[in-house]
Amino acid sequence: MPVSQTVRRSVWVRDAGCCAMCRERVYLDPSDETPAQFRGEVAHIVGERPDGPRGESTLTQQQRNHENNLVLLCFNHHNEIDGNVQQYPVDRLHSIKEAHRSWVMNRLTLEAPWQTTLHNFYYLNVPRLQVLSAISGASLDLSRYGPIVALHDLGWELGGLMAGFQQVLEQVELKAIPMREALLLGSDARGLIVSFDDKFRTKNIAMPQSTEEYRAAVRGDLQTDPHVYLKANGRKITMVVDPRWITTTTAFVQFRPSGGQNQFAGLGLVNAVCDDSMSITPLVIGLPSNPFMEAFYSNA
């Protein structure tokens, strides 16, 4: 009897969707060309079968497929532990699982509910926000909009979409750690959701003039990719801004300020941390609200 879907989901949640060994996220977001991809799998500590890796045990089949005997690993590390049984005995894998669980719990302790209210949305990373919302038990039906090539091209319908995401963000308690605090964690910050409200410099951000230009704007090269950045605590923090998810013409203007920098607030996901840099995928970017705005619009 294979591991049930309920148990698999439980392990994915317990291990925070990260490989217990390298702690890389094992979920790849969908793109225009490819659907969502899973880059990891639930692995057995004591083998699923007696003739499998680490299979010699008195555990019953039910115990072998229980979440206590399972750990989430990327494909590479799953192959590594099963191909090097002597190097990865049962006791060591249980220790790896428990160390990862402690790491996840420490992250949850660090993170707190995001309190910032955005007055205007400049950027909405629709695929990422949909995934996070679904994980948190909320979702937004986007079927009425059809295939979304670029938010800016939605016209009048964009207002409804932004209002929908505003409601989702108010309903879902997204937890985040302040970006500057995440810098102090070094490589342990990888995979964290961070909040920010800082002045960023902008580079290479222009409004595409065609569908092809939207889709080709991000190529994986910071020399040409549109992005915002700042320097803090000896590290350069970079966020690649995909023009497809910039909301309005006004938002494009905000990403091309005359002075070369602008104040942005929002949430992002830490992808990588090096000695002198941090890479963040922006989830939502906007103009933070303030008491004046709240008073002005509440009386309008």
Look up the pTM and report it: 0.64
Q: Distance between CA atoms of 92 and 153, rounded to whole angstroms?
A: 53
What pLDDT is attached to residue 183? 85
What pLDDT is attached to residue 120? 82
- Model pLDDT for residues 227-273, shown as the tens digit of each residue: 999 998 888 999 999 999 999 999 999 998 877 889 899 899 999 88
What pLDDT is attached to residue 162? 87
How many angstroms separate the Cα of 236 from the Cα of each of 82, 245, 264?
Answer: 39, 23, 16
Across the range 164-184, mean pLDDT stands at 79
Contact 73, 43 (CB under 8 A): yes
- Model pLDDT for residues 8-17, shown as the tens digit of each residue: 888 887 888 8
Across the range 193-202, mean pLDDT stands at 91
DSSP one-letter code for 199? E
CA 267 to chain centre: 10
Tell the CATH topology of 112-294: OB fold (Dihydrolipoamide Acetyltransferase, E2P) (2.40.50)
Which residues, in sequence order, are bridge partners of residue 199?
263
- Is 147 exposed, middle or buried (CB count within 10 Å of its CB: 0-12, 13-18, 19+)? exposed
Q: Distance between CA atoms of 52 and 44, rounded to whole angstroms?
A: 10
Amino acid at 17: G
Q: Is 212 left (phi over 0), alpha (psi -120 to 50) or beta?
A: alpha
Q: What is the location of CATH 2.40.50.110 in the chain?
A: 112-294
